[in-house]
Amino acid sequence: METQLVYNIISWLGFGLILLSFVLLSFRKIKAKKIFNILNFFGAAGIAVASVYKQDWILFALSIAWVLTSLTILVLLFTPNKEYKDWTY
């Protein structure tokens, strides 16, 4: 498979995961907790990988910020911290 095609597929999958998490949250099918942040983490990571290949550094910076934010929330959600786990919106 051609390298550019692989990166395009990764980018589109990342886009799809982020969009899916947003739609599910908007229609109240999920809460802004584990599933939402897992989808955002992998979606942003996919876009970050593709943006490096395409040398789109602004998109890369945004994606890394998104990855780090999602990762931080996931760490908080998976650690014993009842106060944070009860927080929902």
State the total domains in the chain.
1
Look up residue 8 and give its two tokens: 């395009």
Going from the C-alpha of 69 to that of each of 1, 2, 13, 48, 57, the distances in angstroms are: 33, 32, 19, 14, 18
Cα–Cα dist 29/48, whole Å = 27
Q: Which domain holds residue 14?
A: 3-85
3-state helix, strand, coil in the chain (%, to 5): 80, 0, 20
Q: What is the block-wise mean pLDDT of the chain (89 residues), using blocks of 10 residues?
A: 90 95 94 92 96 95 97 89 61
| Length of the chain (residues) | 89
- At 77 the pLDDT is 87
Considering the entire predicted model, what is its pTM?
Answer: 0.85
